[in-house]
Amino acid sequence: MKLSVIGISHRTAPVEVRERYALTGDLAGRFLRAAHLENVFEEAMVLDTCNRTELYFVPTGAGDCMDSFLGHVAKLKGLSGDVDKSVFYRHDSQAAVEHLFGVAAALDSQIVGEHQVLGQLKDAYRLAAEQRTARFLLGRLMHRAFRVGKRTRSETELGRGSVSVASAAADLAAQIFSDMGGRTVLMVGAGQTAEAAARSLISAGVRRVVIANRTLSRAEELTRELTGANARAIELDRAGEVIGDTDIVICSTGSSEPVLTYDALGDIISRRGKLLCIVDLAVPRDVDPKLGDLPNVFLHNINDLDRVVARNIERRRQDIPRAKAIVEFEVGEFVKWYDSLQAASTIKLLNRRFELLRQAEIERYGGKFSDSDREQLQRFTESLCKKILHRPIAFLRGLAQDASVSDQLLAVETIRRMYELDEIEAEQNGRGDDLENDE
Amino acid sequence: MDTLLSILNWLLPLVYLALAIDYGATFILRNRTHDRNPGVILAIVFHGAFLVLWGVRFGGLPLVSNYEILSVVAVSSAAVYWAIELVTRDRRAGVFVFLLIFLLQYTSSASLSVMIAHAGDSGHMQAGLGRLHVLPAVLAYTALAFGAVYATLYLVGQRNMKHHNFGLLFDRLPPLDLLGRMSFQSMQVGFAFMTITIITGGVLFHRFGSGGGAMPIDPKLLAKIVIGSAAWIIFAMDVFGKYILKWSVSRVSAITLAGFLIIAVLFVTSLALS
């Protein structure tokens, strides 16, 4: 199979090395344009994420792909000096397909089962299609990869459950509230963790966010950054005033004393008569543990979230064999498809299709001819079929020499569809199986 | 027709058991948790057909004996659950609801002979006012049964959440606010129908009960009045506590469950005294 991948990832190099070769922003597009002009890659697609930079390609066989790839990257990034090739890997043929499907299934990700990589693969393919460097073969390969990604997410536990503290906070809130869109979140503190938690809640559907912070300007800055929600900023000491109308509280200040105390808020919260989810991400804790004893209050601290995350990671780990089985199956299906599009086997099937047609017609009309005429008829139909098939067969044979891999595959697939050769192949395989069974 | 009725009568609990198993699989395997289940509507139609046949065979609404009422409560519970699933698009509570429905229908079906003995004994319950007493009672039982299922689920879920027990139930139960809301709303509906039941029961008693003389009161009726009144007071407290005293969801749910248990005692007492 003429298909390869060259890349660098979190498995082979630390971030300070990876970032030297990262093709971020418009660099991937520029790489593809430059590579397109060269006679080294028939097709190419760049996948660039925070964990990997990879080039999937169909080689022409005209040059050294690794050198070409690194040369273009060095030129685009302005790199000088020797490149340590040992941090790069290359997989060819079926191994390249296995690698891609593993990436799509997020089995090769730093956080196994993460969701972003599938979207990043789609973006990478879209870019390659726009640059016309992804054609029939890469197109088919990528669509199969998307399928692998979807299957592993829907059929296994791999993509389920949060694996970061921030998203675990959102998951906990979702276990308490069915309609996140109608909820109000109070963020106490405006640090990075609070911001990540707020983003997770917003992506879960929350639309109203109040940020209470000691430095009002930082809270205001965060309100501007939190797109997708109606956010407002208040000073920290006013947090108690809004807690009566709040459903979810996320605390992450750097305070050494509790910010939300039972003495100050116990009565207010008790009188609300509705559920309140408090997630305390701060160390030392921001929330007086006594507030968690109130009947409508569900208080979780960083330890609880860590337990949720650890449990989810373990669950994902346990489901890796199932995901690998999906990858293995889909690789098999892709290889089967690829192999079916070889010119030689297609020529055989085409001959068989015409022979069957010929025999059927002779059977149909043969009775109207005398014995001697029937012999003539046999010869005539044989000759006619050969003549009809001569050009298509010559075309198929010529493809192997002249056309690109995608052109070959596309043409062969078109012919197979046109003459329904899959049917013939299935019949032949069935007969083969029957013979094996008989034996 | 009796043979057919008998077969259908025994198929009904099996149908509900099958649904409970199906919902149990959904709950554990976490698949199709947001799809609608066509099996529910088929079960309702099947059960409805059974009740119609029953009515044709015995010439009246199947609301005479407590066992008939249990069967009607079972089918109306299935119908209410179907409506809830349609609105919430959440199947995760189905296993608990259908287990309860299965128990109701099994109890009803197991008492087929009692039902046959009572069927057709139209008496005053088939009269207009009798229907006005029994129908709201059926609806009250149904709604309160729902309230109890959701209250139980809320209390279990709340306990898990409070104790940071992030196990199977944490994953599979619907969100707590949905459980609390469903429990309280079902209880309110049940409370309203129960009030109507008590009023129409009072009128019935006034018309037919004592016969105008100094006859001693029927012990079954006395038990119904005492236990029913106790349950009504508990549900009234629940509504008052929720709206006026701003009671917590857990307290409201616990009281809903307690009220339902009293209703269950009422029902069992009524069966025992039959």
Does residue B252 register a pLDDT over 90?
A: yes
pLDDT 10s digits, A224-280: 888 878 899 999 989 888 998 899 999 988 888 899 999 999 998 988 888 999 999
Q: Please give the average per-residue pLDDT across B72-95, as a whole number.
A: 86
Sign of CA dihedral B152, B157, B162, B164: positive
Q: Which of B175, B244, B235 is nearest to A275 (CA)?
A: B175
Q: Pick the closest to residue B66 from B148, B152, B169, B141 (CA basis).
A: B141
Residues of A in contact with B90 (CB under 8 A): 178
- Kindly list the residues of chain B whose beta carbon comes within 8 Å of any beta carbon in chain A: 88, 90, 157, 161-162, 164, 166, 170, 173-178, 180, 242, 246-251
What pLDDT is recorded for position A439?
Answer: 46
For residue A135, how far is the Cα from the chain centroid? 19
Q: CB distance from A292 to chain B under 8 Å?
A: yes
Q: Mutate which of A275, A301, A315 to test chain B, going by most B C-beta atoms within 10 A?
A: A275
Domain A165-312 has CATH 3.30.70.20: no
Interface probe for B, chosen from A154, A165, A178, A272 (most Cβ of B below 10 Å), is A178
Give yes or no for residue A432 having a pLDDT over 60.
Answer: no
Residue A31 in this model has a pLDDT that exceeds 50: yes
Q: Determine the Cα–Cα distance for residues A273 and B108; give it in Å rounded to an integer.
A: 39
Residue A184: pLDDT band (50, 70, 90) is very high
A269 touching B (Cβ < 8 Å): no
Average pLDDT estimate for A183-210: 89
Amino acid B186: pLDDT: 92
Tell me whether A175 touches chain B (CB under 8 Å): yes
pLDDT at B218 over 60: yes
Amino acid found at A434: D
Catalytic residue list of A: 50
Q: Which of A177, A271, A300 sits opposite B164 (nearest CB)?
A: A300
Q: How far apart are CA A365 and CA A381, in angstroms?
A: 12
Chain B nearest CA to A149, separation (Å): 18
pLDDT band of A398, cuts 50, 70, 90 = confident
Say how many C-beta atoms besides its own lie within 10 A of residue B143's C-beta: 25
Beginning with the edge strand found earlier in the chain, give each strand of the sheet holding A208-213 in spatial order.
Answer: A230-235, A208-213, A184-188, A248-251, A276-280, A297-301
Given a cut of 70, is residue A45 above it in pLDDT? yes
- Reply yes or no on whether the pLDDT at B168 is more than 90: no
Q: Tens digit of pLDDT for each residue in B5-19?
A: 888 888 999 999 999
Predicted pLDDT of residue B15: 95
A274 touches chain B (CB under 8 A): yes
Rounded Cα distance between A404 and B223, Å, is 90
**How sure is the predictor about A435, in pLDDT bands with cuts at 50, 70 and 90?**
very low
| Encoded tokens for A40 | 């080294």
- Residue-wise burial string across A56-90, b where 16 or more C-beta atoms lie within 10 A, e elsewhere: bbbbbeeeebeebbbbbbeebbeeeeebeeebbbb
Alpha-carbon dihedral of residues B123, B126, B128, B132, nearest 10 degrees?
110
pLDDT at A412 over 80: yes
Contacts of B162 in chain A (CB under 8 A): 292, 298
Per cent of chain B over pLDDT 70 is 85
With contact defined as beta carbons under 8 Å apart, do A109 and A51 qualify? yes
pLDDT at B244 over 50: yes
Architecture of domain A4-158+319-329: 2-Layer Sandwich (3.30)
**CB–CB of A176 and B178 under 8 A?**
no
Is A296's CB within 8 Å of B249's CB? yes
In Å, how far is A412's CA from the nearest CA of chain B?
40
Amino acid at the residue A113: G
Q: Which region among A153-162, B156-165, B244-253, B264-273 has the lowest average model confidence (pLDDT)?
A: B264-273
CB atoms B178 and A178 under 8 Å: yes
The distance from CA B145 to its chain's CA centroid, rounded to whole angstroms, is 4
CB within 8 Å of A154: residues ≥ 6 apart: none
Residues of A in contact with B248 (CB under 8 A): 273, 294-296
- Across the interface, do B175 and A176 touch by the CB < 8 Å criterion? yes
Q: Could you tell me the residue ranges of all domains in chain B?
A: 1-121, 126-274
What local confidence, expressed as pLDDT, does residue A376 receive?
86
Q: A297 vs A310, which has greater pLDDT?
A: A297
Residue boundaries of the structural domains of chain A: 4-158+319-329, 165-312, 341-430
Cα→Cα distances A232→A54, A149, A206, A211, B228, Å: 42, 38, 14, 6, 52
| pLDDT confidence of residue B57 | 82
Chain B residues within 8 A of A309 when measuring between CB atoms: none
